[in-house]
Structure 1
Amino acid sequence: MLTGGISSDLLSPPTLFYVDLSYNLLQGTIPANISSGLYNLRLSENSLVGPIPVTICSLRTNSLELDNNKLDSQIPPQMGSCKNLELLNLAANRLHGGLPKELENLTICWNLYLQDNSLTGAIPSEFFSSQGLTIMNLENNKLNGSIPDTIGTLRNLIELRLGNNKLNGKVPVMPKSLSTSLNLSSNLLTGPIPPYLGGLQQLQILDLSNNEFTGEVPSSLTRMRSLTLLELSNNLLSGIPPHFPPSILVTLTGNKDILLDENKDAVDVNQDTVARPLAISVMVTSFVGGFLVSIALAGIYVRCFGNGKYESSAASRTRAPLQSEPLVELQNLRRIRRQLDAAVAKYG
């Protein structure tokens, strides 16, 4: 494992094409003297400090990964000049300041990772002009303001993560291309949950927890055919939630005005798991009871007619007390069977 600093001339040879120094114990700053022919630069998972060199912005690189270091600066606006960038990963540093609108020039950037920093300010509307963008992660920053409406124009976005910021306002129309995850949790978003989110038919995970959403849970969310997880906990939701299919795991805890107990078809797992064993128990009891009644009737038949022929009148008088006993048993068994049938009708 490499230690120490990166020498000033290590990244400067003009024939240098690919550099990967990730997952080491490198310290110090990133040298400003970097070859303009560098195509791929990976310095992830080290202990590098200081600013992002402006000279990086003049590279022809298509992949720049500086994540999981201790870089402490703003994102240079000149970063928008890296028009060949397809992957930009600056996550988990100590970056601060606003998001430069010049990043709109990264028109072929597919993956943008800026999470786990201290970025502030609003998200520029120009930020969502890159039509090639597939993954955007801005989680765990200090971004505020509303989510720009221009996000709805992205046609290739499959994952959007804006959780744990200070975003407010309402949720705009989202791209129908979203499929992996839409995370808007732990913000200050308000208003009702937009019913049009139910149109995201490819989306697997929708996290709207820890906001200030009000009103009822829209029934359109139950028709999201690819959804597996719906996080709605810790909002201000109210009313009776719609019935979700078993394939969707729904969390609604922390919404004090949600009425789960009044709707047996709602997402009340505890109520559902109690009702099902009860019905099964009644069915099993009915089956066992019916089986016992059948055995008892067979026994009565044998006791009454076991000889296979009619007895004489004298013998009949002698056996009379024995015949009355099975009749009493038969009446009791019929009464038990009626009770079991009534229980099945009530709970089955």
Structure 2
Amino acid sequence: MTLKVNDNWIPPFQLATLGLRHCHLGSRFPSWLYSQKHLNYLDLSYSGIIGTIPNIFWSSASQIYVLDLSFNQIHGQIPNLTNAAQLEVLSLGSNSFSIALPLISSYLIELDFSNNSISGSIFHFICYRANELNKWQILYLSGNFLQGELPDCWMNYQNLMILDLSNNKFTGNLPISLGSLISLQSLHLRKNNLCGTIHSLENCTALMTLDVGENELVENIPTWIRERFSRIVVLILRSNKFYNLLPKELCDLAFLQIVDLADNNLSGEVPRCIHNLRAMVTMNSHAGKAIQYQFLLYASRAPLIATLLEDAFVVMKGREAKYERTLNLVRIIDFSKNNFSGKIPLEVTNLKVLQSVNLSNNFFTGRIPESVGTMRSLESIDFSLNQLSGEIPQSMSSLKFLNHLNLSNNNLTGKIPSSTQLQSFDASSFSGNDLCRAPLSGNCSEHVSIPKD
């Protein structure tokens, strides 16, 4: 829909709520809004606005408690909003702001500045009024050019539930005060240059999502993960420098659905207790429901429950994709690009609802578990670049949902099991072995499989 009015139009009404999401309003910020003296909810997201927000709007909008201007092309200045006590939700994400972060009221509950071009430090922004507790529950600053070390004054944000600082240029260690965020359920620090350990997060026992992928963190995966992160659903540690053995305590994370440890320096065998990951054994009663967080807005006449959906960037089938509404349906294990050795534990085949398993680029030996075909939910298998031997299990031909397979560069021998599913893959899925039958060329009579047992 398109809303076209004259520049000098004065509406013959006074609104309390206005939602024009995905409506075309023209490139300029609508000036007729200045006449609305009782507006408390305004959503102009995805409305094609280009340019700046006039100062007259900020002075006339002191009664607004929810303001969503996200997904436009707005730029320019944002005034000091420390006295905007009525404002509880401010969403300016996915615009063209290239300013330093403005000072914001401590009464705010949700703030979104993600996916802009904001640069500089966040020290003054976070540590302003250092001795004053903030009501903030949600803070999105991802996808900017923010830099420097993370400030160590998070103890003032006891109510914070969601913190997303991913895809910036932050450096240094994780500050100790992050551990004071006892209400924190979702922490995204992906794609920065953070170093050190995650020990400062030990007291963040409410965490359901932790994504610190693509940083420079160096340590063992801590054994306290079982007690302190007992509610964790999404654990992404990929592309860091975690080393040593995979602790058995990881197996006791009953709600874990996505575990991505790829591209680290982990070694040793995969614990046989892996079948204890109960969320990968059976779908729980919440399967299909989005992972969501609820919070209260108070400025309206009656408290309103607002809901935010969790999202995560997950690598599956060789591609990175963002999952949101379907995130709770995803079950992934990615241990690729490490130094794991030994056999693939038979117990992994008990994970009946696992959709993707990637063990590539390791030193696994022995056979592919014969019962792999019982994992009927598998859509993606990558065992490439290991030292696996023996034949491909016949049961693999019964994986009806399998649409990505890579067994290349191992020591596999014999015939590729005959099935419409397996023969539909490209020959590169099986190359670098001593295999025969379609999709590979060559006569199987020329190959004689000699069992090593």
CA distance in 2, matches of 1:146, 1:96: 19
- Tell me, what secondary structure is at the counterpart of 1:221? helix
CA contact (8 A) 2:106 2:134 kept: no
Name the counterpart of 1:161: 211
Name the aligned partner's letter for residue 339 of structure 2. Answer: L
- Residue by residue over 1:78-135, the C-alpha shift from the partner in whole angstroms, topping out at 9 and shown as x without a partner, is 5255610010011111111111111232101111111111111111122121111111
Identity %: 28
From 80, 87, 93, give the equivalent of 1:32. Answer: 80
CA contact (8 A) 1:84 1:108 kept: yes
> Which is worse superposed, 173-182 or 203-212?
173-182
CA distance in 1, matches of 2:84, 2:256: 40
How many residues end up aligned between the 2 structures? 278
- Residue by residue over 1:38-70, the C-alpha shift from the partner in whole angstroms, topping out at 9 and shown as x without a partner, is 2221111100012101x21x4311111111110
From 335, 340, 345, give the equivalent of 1:237. Answer: 340
CA distance in 1, matches of 2:80, 2:182: 31
Name the aligned partner's letter for residue 114 of structure 1. Answer: L
- Tell me, what secondary structure is at the counterpart of 1:187? coil
- Tell me, what secondary structure is at the counterpart of 2:55? coil
Name the counterpart of 1:343: none
Name the counterpart of 2:106: 59
Structure 2, unmatched stretches of 5+, are 1-47, 281-330, 373-380, 384-390, 399-414, 419-453
As a proportion of its length, which structure holds more strand? 2
As a proportion of its length, which structure holds more helix? 1
Name the counterpart of 2:122: 75
> Could you tell me the TM-score, scaled by structure 1's length?
0.73
CA contact (8 A) 1:42 1:66 kept: yes
From 271, 290, 294, give the equivalent of 2:392. Answer: 271
From 173, 176, 184, give the equivalent of 1:125. Answer: 176
Work out whether 1:105 is the aligned partner of 2:156: yes
Name the aligned partner's letter for residue 63 of structure 1. Answer: E
CA contact (8 A) 1:20 1:43 kept: yes
Cα distance change of structure 1 residues 92 and 272 upon mapping to structure 2, 3 Å threshold: same
- Residue by residue over 1:259-304, the C-alpha shift from the partner in whole angstroms, topping out at 9 and shown as x without a partner, is 14376468997822467689x99xxxxxxxxxxxxxxxxxxxxxxx
CA distance in 1, matches of 2:57, 2:397: 68
Cα distance change of structure 1 residues 72 and 238 upon mapping to structure 2, 3 Å threshold: same
- Tell me, what secondary structure is at the counterpart of 2:93? coil
Work out whether 1:23 is the aligned partner of 2:71: yes
Cα distance change of structure 1 residues 63 and 52 upon mapping to structure 2, 3 Å threshold: same
- Tell me, what secondary structure is at the counterpart of 1:10? helix
Structure 1, unmatched stretches of 5+, are 282-348
CA contact (8 A) 2:244 2:266 kept: yes
> Could you tell me the TM-score, scaled by structure 2's length?
0.57
Work out whether 1:202 is the aligned partner of 2:273: no
- Tell me, what secondary structure is at the counterpart of 2:194? strand
CA distance in 2, matches of 1:180, 1:231: 15
CA distance in 1, matches of 2:396, 2:69: 59
CA distance in 1, matches of 2:395, 2:88: 61
- Tell me, what secondary structure is at the counterpart of 1:101? coil
Name the counterpart of 2:276: 223
CA contact (8 A) 1:95 1:118 kept: yes
CA contact (8 A) 1:8 1:33 kept: no
Name the counterpart of 1:247: 353
- Tell me, what secondary structure is at the counterpart of 2:126? helix
Work out whether 1:145 is the aligned partner of 2:196: yes
- Tell me, what secondary structure is at the counterpart of 1:222? helix
CA contact (8 A) 2:371 2:395 kept: no
CA distance in 2, matches of 1:187, 1:210: 7
CA contact (8 A) 1:99 1:121 kept: yes
CA distance in 1, matches of 2:396, 2:262: 28
From 226, 233, 238, give the equivalent of 1:185. Answer: 238
CA contact (8 A) 2:98 2:118 kept: yes
CA contact (8 A) 2:89 2:111 kept: yes
Name the aligned partner's letter for residue 204 of structure 2. Answer: L
Name the counterpart of 2:166: 115
Cα distance change of structure 1 residues 75 and 273 upon mapping to structure 2, 3 Å threshold: farther
CA contact (8 A) 1:28 1:48 kept: yes
> Per-residue deviation at 1:9?
4.3
- Tell me, what secondary structure is at the counterpart of 2:251? helix
CA distance in 2, matches of 1:118, 1:169: 21
> Per-residue deviation at 1:235?
0.3
Name the aligned partner's letter for residue 254 of structure 1. Answer: N
CA contact (8 A) 1:185 1:208 kept: yes
CA distance in 2, matches of 1:275, 1:92: 41
CA distance in 1, matches of 2:154, 2:65: 24
CA distance in 2, matches of 1:276, 1:48: 53
Cα distance change of structure 1 residues 33 and 124 upon mapping to structure 2, 3 Å threshold: closer
Cα distance change of structure 1 residues 6 and 215 upon mapping to structure 2, 3 Å threshold: same
